[in-house]
Structure 1
Amino acid sequence: MGQSSSTTSYPTSQFLISPEPSDSTDGIKIGPLRDYTEGIPDECLASIFQLLNASDRKRSSHVCKRWFRVDGQSRRRLSLNAQSEIISHVPSIFTRFDSVAKLSLRCDRRSLSINDDALLMISIRCEGLTRLKLRGCREVTEVGMDNFAKNCKNLTKFSCGSCNFGAIGINMLLKHCIKLEELTIKRLRNVNNGNDVVVPGAAALSLKSICLKELGYGQSFEPLVVECKMLKTLKVIRCAGDWDNVLVKMGSGNTFLSDVHLERLQVSDIGLGAISKCVNIDSLHIVKNPECTNLGLVSVAENCKKLRKLHIDGWKINRIGDEGLMAVSKQCPDLQELVFDWCSCYAFQYGGNCC
């Protein structure tokens, strides 16, 4: 159940290296044992802790009271089992680990997760938090996200999956976290009817990466994708809805976009044509999108001259083949990585030359 609370008992023995000889003239006698680690500054001890794996660090922190204290004060990354039983221990946990910058809270499907009150207590004690990952925290609502975002305005990376706070909760986060750079949303509940949309808010100028996975109504995120003009990475995977219109609106005004991943979407050559207007793209994944054909790939090849990595998965539809491959080989001189899967490329199948 998460980390040990501050009531953990300490061992009475210290980490003893060797005995110190006595100055007695009667012969060699064993004097009092000496702890040679006392001379190590706390900063150096903290650096040593950073090199240990999780289990070794946990055991080492129980060697003595000083090591226990230094471990708590220097720990920057913490992962907790976010079941409801941990709520009463939140104050003691984050009193000890008061310098956490990266926090992961996970709860399995069968258990009751932490609630808004617990998230509020965490945000009060971790104002310096820069990264947060929520998985299966179904008891956290829009109110909890609002209170959390108000206290943790230095957040730069946020990821959530299988949560229930919907588009309103994401809007609260984007409203207050003006330094947010990376946003990952997977299986977010209550985003199925499109009544609520996600807008970039104060994070419009800071967001550089957006990843959307398995959303029932992905069009709720259209304003977010379109209005983030500093966006460099866009990954949309298995999100329902027509994405051509979103890509058309985004492609006309984004000059920073460099990495695009489109997988199992309702997107056609119209969307690829819009993507091709982002001339700085150097990495493109088109995975299992049955409406994408050679025409869209040719458009990408003709406009995206900086393309270095291209992954195409035709999903046995065979609508992308030699024509698209030849366009890429002729128009993209900087290409370094090319992956074609389930495409009708006879040049590959029979060892021909597509150049």
Structure 2
Amino acid sequence: MRGHDRINTYLPDELLLEIFRRLDSKPSRDACSVVCKRWFNLDRLSRSTLRIGASSSPDHFVKLITRRFVNVKTVYVDERLLLPAQLGRRLGSESIRPSPKLRKVKEKAGTEDSGIETSCISDAGLSVLGESFTQLEKLSLIWCNNVSSGGMVSTAQKCRSLKCLDLQGCYVGNLGLAAVGQCCKQLEDLNLRFCEDLSDTGVVEVALGCGKSLKALGVAACAKITDISLEAVGLHCKSLETLSLDSEYISDKGLLAVAKGCPILKVLKLQCINVTDEALAAVGTCCLSLELLALYNLQKFTDRGLSAIGSGCKKLKSLTLSDCYSLSDKGLEAIATGCKELTHLEVNGCHNIGTMGLESIGKSCEQLTELALLFCQKIGNNALIEVGSGCKFLQALHLVDCSGIGDDGICGIARGCRKLNKLHIRRCYEIGNKGIVAIGEYCKSLTDLSLQFCDRVGDEALVSIGHGCSLHHLNVSGCHQIGDAGIIAIARGCPQLSSLDISVLQNLGDMAMAELGEGCPLLKEVLLSYCRQISDVGITHLVKNCNLLESCQMVYCPAITAAGVATVVSGCPNVKKVLVEKWKVSQRTKRRAGSVIAYLCMDL
């Protein structure tokens, strides 16, 4: 009722605070904060999470936000995220990450390069965060070049309730990490990826101080962190559940210590070229709770190690094998026999794994919900036929450069996997209309379809999809046989479509654009680059009813002129990005919406 404020009259602060906390988006919170002074002040109290990107005066910015928000428990600082005002300035040399040697020289000299404007939070800003948010539980510092041990020591001493710490790409040294181990006894999650200054000394201190609470540890590209660190982790961190390692300096010795000392390990991700079957055998023997295993580029790892995983890790649900050239069908058969609960499988570039190995998965792993086969030249149609027969709960299938898989395999999936909702195929040249028509006929739950550069797929396939499925996402870029008829069928049959990629479709014209504008009002993203027959007329029809459009990419479309670009900008109130050639943007359009226009080529 006009003139009567019943909400502020009857609702106490505690109830309004709880309402604010339940709002699921920042725009909603921001809208509430401008209603009145009371709501503005309560909004300050309700915010528990802050995300900070790069700014021209980061330390000053931190001081301002710490005064406004007092109950923050989670802070994300990511120097890769640029504020709009910084995009131009950081295209130059100041956006380049300085080398560790240069940084050390500057620290010893006590000066910074005055010719470069820093936009990275420093130890002073980090200290302000620690002093203001003493109840901080999660702190993420991504590529914060100016943060060192000094700032980390100060923060660790103030924020003793810290549970999650991400130092990816920071120059924090052993002194700072030791302070974390000594002060933050509740630490559960620690990410040390690309922390070049750290060595075993710092990690050992954390293991000693936080051994009882630490549950997750990530290490990558840290040349000074060796097996000594993992031995300390295995000795003291009995509650460790997640370990991610990417290192040339870790060998069997370190991983053996973790396997024997951390029996409840559930997630293990390895990219360590010196790890062999001996370490994987220990994981299979000792880590019986393992649920996720990802192995990348392990050249010394063979079927013997994978067989040990299959024999011992009966709870394994997710397996990724990438560029493990020594594996064959025998190892995958051991997984199929032993790991009946497997739900996710990715095989990427393992050239010795063929049809027989995947057939065993189809026969034994009935709970499989997601399958990805990338660069698997030896896997043929019979493998997918077997998966379709045995894996009735399959929901997602990804195929990339699998030359042995054709229509028969896709038909097998279509007939058996009726719950399929995502199908992504790229450069599988033996798959054509027959397989995709079967998908449209049997897989009524399909919402996400990608058929990139599948030369044999044409309009007939999309007509079947349009009749049988209600897609939300469609990518048919590079499918040269698709024309207006196929896209019109999608426009008429998929009113929920929100993203569409029709790039490099030479036979597509304005008629299809008009149908999309009429039938798909929920479109948010459209990519139509290299479509030579689409003109300003088609663009006008497209944006007429697609008021939700946020992104449009239309480079190398010769029939689209500056008028078409202006139509997109003026007709789509929610547009955030328009990718186009620079010469097609008029001065008026640039003045009106310069911030949302991205150019294919930048002036050098």
Tell me which interval the TM-score lies in, with the shorter structure as reference length.
0.7 to 0.9
Hey, what does 1:70 align to over in structure 2?
264
Per the TM alignment, residue 46 of structure 1 is displaced from its structure 2 partner at its CA by: 7.4
Match of 1:321 in 2: 535
**How big is the alpha-carbon RMSD for the aligned residues of Structure 1 and Structure 2?**
3.3
Amino acid across the alignment from 2:477: E
1:134 equivalent in structure 2: 347
Give the corresponding residue for 1:216.
429
Residue range with higher mean Cα deviation, 58-67 or 276-285: 58-67
The residue type paired with residue 334 of structure 2 is M
Cα distance, 1:135 vs structure 2: 1.9
Residues 259, 63 of structure 1: alpha-carbon distance in 2 compared, 3 angstrom cutoff? same
Amino acid at match of 2:436: E
Letter in 1 for 2:499: S
User: Cα 1:68–1:46, aligned 2, differ >3 Å: closer, same or farther?
Assistant: closer
Any conservation in 2 of the 1:142–1:172 contact (CA below 8 Å)? no
**1:74 shift after superposition:** 4.4
Report SS of the residue matched to 1:334: coil
- Aligned-partner Cα distance in 2 for 1:147–1:65: 28
Flag the 1:223–1:62 CA change in 2: closer, same or farther, 3 A: same
Match of 2:11 in 1: none
Instruction: Go from structure 1 to structure 2 and tell me whether the alpha carbon gap of 1:82 and 1:248 turns closer, same or farther (over 3 Å shift).
Output: farther
| Aligned residue-pair number | 312
1:186 maps to: 400
Deviations 1:132-190 (A, max 9, x none): 01123444443332222121111111000222222221111121111111101112233
In the alignment, structure 2 segments of 5+ residues that lack a partner are 1-180, 183-207, 217-236, 266-286, 566-583, 590-604
Residue identity in the other structure for 1:211: H
Correspondence for 1:53: 244
Paired residue secondary structure (1:183): strand
Partner SS state of residue 450, structure 2: strand
Q: How does 1:1-355 map to 2 (within 5 A)?
A: 48-50=240-242, 52-55=243-246, 63=257, 67-71=261-265, 72-80=287-295, 81=297, 86-95=302-311, 97-107=313-323, 111=325, 113-163=326-376, 164-191=378-405, 198-199=411-412, 200-204=414-418, 206-219=419-432, 220-226=434-440, 227-255=442-470, 257-265=471-479, 266-277=481-492, 278-314=494-530, 317=532, 319-343=533-557, 344-346=559-561, 347=563, 348=565, 349-351=584-586
One-letter amino acid of the counterpart of residue 292, structure 2: R
Task: Tell me, in whole angstroms, the C-alpha distance in 2 between the residues paired with 1:341 and 1:323.
Answer: 16
Normalising by structure 2, report the TM-score.
0.47
What is the distance in 1 between the residues matched to 2:258 and 2:348? 34
Matched with 1:4 is none
Separation (CA, whole Å) in 1 of partners of 2:211 and 2:560: 68
Q: TM-score, normalised on structure 1?
A: 0.76
Tell me, yes or no, if the aligned pair for 1:83 and 1:114 is still in contact at 8 Å: no
Residues 213 and 239 in structure 2, CA contact (< 8 A), matched pair in contact too: no
Higher helix share: 2
Distance in 2 (alpha carbons) for counterparts of 1:196 and 1:73: 35
Cα pair 1:115 1:140 within 8 Å, conserved: yes
Q: Distance in 2 between matches of 1:125 and 1:240?
A: 39
1:211-268 deviations in whole A, cap 9, x for unaligned? 111012221522442121110000001112141111112211223x110011111211
Measured in 2, the distance between the counterparts of 1:281 and 1:179 equals 24
What letter matches 1:342 in structure 2? Y
AA at the equivalent of 1:268: G
Q: CA deviation at 1:85?
A: 5.9
Structure 1 residues 41 and 280: CA distance shift in structure 2, 3 A: closer
Secondary structure, aligned partner of 2:502: strand
Q: Is the 8 A contact 2:344 2:371 kept in 1?
A: yes
Q: Percent identity?
A: 20
Q: Are the equivalent residues in 2 in contact too, given 1:62–1:68 (CA < 8 A)?
A: no
For residue 335 of structure 1, give the secondary structure of its aligned residue in structure 2: coil
Shift in Å, 1:128: 1.4
CA distance in structure 2 between the aligned counterparts of 1:38 and 1:162, rounded to whole angstroms: 41
